[in-house]
């Protein structure tokens, strides 16, 4: 299967390799065994030292922009991981713009008609030709239904699903190769980043998923009448088409220019409260609440839009997070370390005492900071960054939570600099803490555990019988995982092809010498002398030689 995919995506691999070499990353290609797929001129240009004037971050951004939508989305995800990647790279990747030229409106209409089984004119009273916005996944058009409702219609780009799946295969292969060959790739956990990205971009490209997310969020936000979620018109939705209520209003950066006198303090409080409710009560929150995804619809009302990216926290995760925040606000490094143990995977050789000392040093800068002035998002991110240096793998849900908190804090701060999300979170934390210590929870957990153990005991005889049958039939196998075996096999392939080339070249030379000697010293009476043996032999040998060379080079193993 891996070989089939490799051949299927050969052109994409070549395009990626060419782009990396063009921007000074040829040494990476050489190390992971992909340098050979470049043409000779590109190999030579990849050895150039003309890239020193640009930083690695700049060159990486240029590579991502050139490789298109899927890689741009990955770059945007990386730019949010300030806990892992150095500032120089994050700052460059933050410049990535998800703005691409729109595709033909006729194509979009054909997709609507195919998916919704009706002509566009029958579905919409009017449909704008020019899109309101165009991004890498799709574009948005303004339309009016025959019932008079104004709607925003999102249409995915043609073939975007196939392009994403192809690039996912390629990215997984590249991440695996890089993690095998480079310590820095393992340090930055590129394979984990790619897997996080895979889930996120698949959800974002599936408009059914976004529709369900939006409807669930609308239900969860019912206690907050000042926070609005657009209505989804299910009958006009598919995996490639999403029809939702059109929201009129202003973005954050345009509030000052608006004739409406917005109550910014009330808006800040509403947004902060609604987000804390999403995060700590529902466990289902908007993971990318940046200013572009919030529309201010009135003096003291706002709407969240674009639910392609959401995150979930189980009840136990919310309890663990509350423990972590409480320990952090108490400024007790031992308790912070214990809380992180519940939220992460630790390496076996971790020096716990040294890690706790680093946490204490980090918390010391908050000792003089009042509870009101503390930034919960920044404090979480600082400690996560420290954990990363010890190769502690924070579970991705908490990383997404930290990113979302930092984002919403920046929005709230611009509206009301005096509002503290840390203070607002206190009653939510107390509520979760009470739930955690309630006796009913312990009883429910005991019952659940008893059910699980009884199921294990019930299934044990069957599993033992199956295992004994496999032993009796000699079907016990050994599964070995050798991470670098493919690289070794590739190198052996190239060595064997070069040896074949040398042997064929030697054989070709011997044949030619034999023909020349035979022609020179053969008997003159032989009719063979009259035949152009050298020319015929040369032509046949030459074409065999060229065919073999072509086969070797085409295999990409030379």
Q: Which pLDDT band holds residue 330 (cuts at 50, 70, 90)?
A: confident
Among the listed ranges 88-102, 252-266, 489-503, which one has the minimum average pLDDT value?
A: 489-503
Burial class (CB in 10 A: 0-12, 13-18, 19+), 548: middle
Query: Taking CA 269 as the corner, what is the angle to CA 287 and CA 375, rounded to the nearest 5 degrees?
Result: 60
Contacts of 67 (CB under 8 A, 6+ apart): 15, 16, 19
Helices 333-343, 352-364: crossing angle, 10 deg rounding: 120
Q: What DSSP assignment string belongs to 80-139?
A: T-TTTS-HHHHHHHTT-----PPPPHHHHHHHHHHHHTS-HHHHEEEE-SS-SEE-SSEE
Q: Which distant-in-sequence residues (6+ apart) come within 8 Å of 111 by Cβ?
A: 155, 156, 158, 240, 241
Instruction: Please check the confidence at residue 367 and state whether its pLDDT lies above 70.
Output: no
Q: Is 369 within 8 Å of 341 (Cβ atoms)?
A: no
In this prediction, residue 213 has a pLDDT band, given cuts at 50, 70 and 90, of very high
CB 340 within 8 A of CB 324: yes
Looking at residue 3, what is its pLDDT? Answer: 41
The confidence band for 477, taking pLDDT boundaries of 50, 70 and 90, is low
Name which of 538, 501, 496, 494 is nearest 516 in CA terms: 538
Taking the C-alpha atoms of residue 130 and residue 2, their distance in angstroms, rounded to an integer, is 42
Asked if the model's pLDDT at residue 536 lies above 70, the reply is no
Phi-psi region of 189 (alpha: psi -120 to 50; beta: other; left: phi over 0): left
Confidence (pLDDT) at 272: 92
Looking at every residue in the chain, the average pLDDT score rounds to 80
Joined tokens for residue 165: 């799946």
pLDDT of 2 reads 45
CB 122 within 8 Å of CB 89: no
Of 276, 282, 286, 281, the closest CA to residue 229 belongs to 286
Token couple for 260: 């409406």
Distance CA 187, CA 207 (A): 34
Residues 430-452 have a mean pLDDT of 70
Average confidence (pLDDT) over 245-262: 90
Helix (H, G, I), strand (E, B) or coil at 262: coil
Amino acid 249: pLDDT: 92
The pLDDT value given to residue 307: 92
The DSSP string of 450-465 is: HHHHHHHHHHHHHHHH
pLDDT tens per residue across span 132-170: 988 888 899 999 999 999 999 999 998 888 888 888 888
Any idea which residue has 């054909």 for tokens? 110
pLDDT at 42: 56
> What pLDDT score was predicted for residue 225?
92
More confident residue, 361 or 447: 361
Contacts 24+ apart (CB under 8 A), 413-420: 414/252, 414/291, 415/252, 415/264, 415/265, 415/267, 415/268, 415/271, 416/264, 416/265, 416/267, 416/268, 416/269, 418/265, 419/265, 419/268, 419/269, 419/272, 420/371, 420/372, 420/373, 420/374
Query: Residue 475: what pLDDT?
Result: 65
* Cβ count near 264 (within 10 Å): 19
User: DSSP readout, 153-208?
Assistant: EEEEPTTHHHHHHHHHHHHHHHHHHHHHH-HHHHHTTHHHHHHHHHHHHHHHH-HH
pLDDT digits (tens, 9 = 90+) for 380-418: 878 888 888 888 888 888 888 888 888 898 899 899 988
**CA geometry: angle at 260 spanning 257 and 261, to 5°?**
95
Do residues 416 and 366 make contact, with C-beta atoms less than 8 angstroms apart? no
- State residue 261 phi and psi, 5-degree precision: -90, 95
Distance of alpha carbon 164 from alpha carbon 237, whole angstroms:
21
> Rounded mean pLDDT of 513-529?
58
Dihedral (C-alpha) 19, 21, 27, 28: value to the nearest 10 degrees?
Answer: 10
The answer to whether the beta carbons of residues 321 and 401 sit under 8 Å apart is yes
Q: Taking 50 as the threshold, does the pLDDT of residue 101 lie above it?
A: yes
Largest CA distance in the chain: 113
**1 SS3 class:** coil
The more confident residue out of 238 and 253 is: 238
β-partners of residue 138 are 156
How far are the Cα atoms of 146, 242, 246, 307 from residue 111, in angstroms, in the given order? 20, 12, 21, 22
Contact indicator for 272, 424 with CB cutoff of 8 Å: yes
> Phi-psi bin for 150: left (phi > 0), alpha (psi -120 to 50), beta?
beta
- Identify the sign of the CA torsion 537, 543, 547, 552: positive
């Amino acid at each position: 299967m891996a070989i089939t995919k490799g051949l299927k995506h050969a052109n994409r691999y070549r395009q990626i390799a060419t782009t990396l070499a063009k921007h000074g990353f040829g040494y990476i290609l050489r190390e992971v065994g992909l340098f050979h797929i470049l043409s000779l001129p590109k190999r030579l240009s990849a050895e150039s030292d003309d890239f020193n004037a640009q930083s690695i971050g700049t060159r990486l951004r240029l590579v991502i922009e050139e490789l298109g939508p899927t890689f741009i989305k990955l770059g945007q995800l990386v730019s949010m991981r300030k806990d892992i990647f150095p500032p120089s790279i994050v700052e460059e990747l933050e410049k990535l713009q998800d703005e691409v030229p729109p595709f033909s409106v006729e194509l979009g209409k054909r997709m609507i008609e195919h998916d919704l089984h009706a002509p566009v004119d029958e579905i919409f009273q009017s449909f704008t030709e020019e899109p309101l916005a165009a991004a890498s996944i799709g574009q948005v058009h303004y339309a009016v239904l025959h019932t008079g409702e104004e709607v925003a219609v999102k249409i995915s780009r043609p073939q975007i699903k196939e392009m994403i799946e192809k690039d996912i295969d390629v990215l997984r292969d590249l991440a695996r190769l890089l993690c095998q060959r480079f310590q820095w790739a393992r340090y930055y956990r590129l394979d984990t980043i790619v897997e996080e990205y895979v889930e996120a971009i698949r959800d974002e490209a599936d408009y059914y998923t976004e529709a369900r997310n939006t409807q669930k969020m609308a239900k969860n936000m019912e206690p907050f009448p000042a926070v609005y979620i657009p209505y989804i018109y299910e009958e006009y939705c598919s995996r490639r088409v999403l029809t939702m209520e059109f929201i009129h209003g202003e973005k954050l950066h345009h509030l000052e220019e608006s004739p409406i006198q917005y109550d910014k303090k009330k808006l800040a409080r509403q947004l902060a409260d609604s987000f804390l409710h999403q995060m700590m009560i529902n466990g289902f929150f908007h993971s990318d609440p940046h200013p572009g995804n919030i529309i201010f619809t009135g003096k003291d009302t706002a709407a969240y839009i674009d639910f392609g990216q959401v995150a979930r926290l189980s009840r136990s995760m919310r309890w663990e997070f509350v423990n972590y925040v409480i320990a952090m606000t108490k400024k007790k490094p031992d308790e912070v370390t214990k809380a992180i143990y519940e939220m992460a995977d630790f390496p076996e050789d971790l020096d716990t005492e040294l890690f706790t000392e680093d946490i204490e040093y980090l918390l010391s800068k908050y000792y003089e900071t009042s509870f009101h002035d503390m930034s919960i998002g920044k404090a979480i991110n600082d400690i996560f960054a420290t954990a990363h240096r010890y190769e502690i793998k924070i579970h991705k849900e908490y990383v997404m939570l930290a990113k979302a908190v930092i984002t919403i804090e920046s929005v709230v701060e611009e509206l009301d600099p005096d509002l503290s999300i840390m203070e607002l979170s206190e009653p939510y934390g107390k509520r979760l803490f009470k739930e955690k210590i309630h006796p009913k929870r312990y009883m429910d957990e005991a019952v659940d555990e008893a059910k699980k153990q009884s199921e294990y005991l019930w299934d044990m005889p069957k599993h033992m019988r199956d295992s004994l049958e496999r032993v009796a039939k000699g079907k016990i196998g050994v599964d070995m995982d050798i991470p670098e075996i493919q690289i070794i096999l590739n190198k052996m392939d190239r060595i064997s092809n070069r040896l074949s080339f040398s042997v064929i070249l030697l054989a070709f030379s011997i044949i030619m010498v034999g023909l020349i000697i035979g022609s020179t010293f053969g008997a003159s009476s032989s009719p063979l002398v009259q035949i152009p043996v050298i020319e015929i032999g040369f032509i046949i040998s030459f074409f065999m030689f060229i065919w073999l060379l072509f086969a070797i080079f085409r295999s990409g193993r030379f």
